[in-house]
Structure 1
Amino acid sequence: MAGVSMVLLDSSVAGCVSTWQHRGGNIDHGRWDILAACEQELLRVIAELDDDEAAYYQRLLDMTVLVLEAPEDSSPS
């Protein structure tokens, strides 16, 4: 979809969010950067997806934004 591997996007977000959860709301700079890149890709492709797919990837985007906008004590370490 628009040059984006949706499977890789899905697994990248899932991995980073899972790490964030298991580390008590902290992720390293590398994973934070990956999520920031995923956010941009999600914003670009969601409008091109069918309803069910769009809803799924919108939830991924919502999780991504929650982690990226987490309070300072949960910022990248």
Structure 2
Amino acid sequence: MSESSAQVRDAARLWDEHRHAPFPDSLRGAEGGTDLWLLDLYTAGCVVTWLDNGGTLDAENSRILQSCLEDLQQVIPEINEPAAAQYYQRLHQLALLVATNLAGTK
């Protein structure tokens, strides 16, 4: 199995875990000027697109994913609720898996 295939498999497993986790109700709204619900939505959209396309994203989704990664890195340290922090750390890990795979294919 290639490294790329392993990353897609790992991301699919992590995505399955993430999509079954409830969204933290305490975070419906903005944190540090970032709407966390929209951040989740945009990041998840890029992850699903990447998985559906066998590990590729177009330029626009790559840009969106990079923006989401930057936002996640800023907001995660501000989340004080353990379950909510875990939710966004998993989302960040997914985004990193996708971004790392994209960087390796450019």
When the two structures are superposed, what TM-score results if normalisation uses the length of structure 2?
0.66
Structure 1 unaligned spans of 5+:
none
The higher radius of gyration belongs to 2
**How many residues matched?**
73
Q: State the identity as a percent.
A: 38
> SS where residue 69 of structure 1 aligns?
helix
Structure 1 residue ranges, 4+ long, deviating more than 2 angstroms after superposition: none
Structure 2 spans left out of the alignment, 5+ residues: 1-30
Query: Residue in 2 aligned with 1:63?
Result: 94
Work out the CA distance in 1 between the residues paired with 2:85 and 2:59. Answer: 28
- Given residue 17 of structure 1, which amino acid in structure 2 is its aligned partner? V
- SS of the equivalent of 1:7 reads helix
Structure 1: distance between partners of 2:77 and 2:84: 10
Are 2:80 and 1:47 aligned?
no
What value does the CA root-mean-square deviation take over the aligned residues? 0.9
Amino acid across the alignment from 2:35: S
Could you tell me the TM-score, scaled by structure 1's length?
0.90
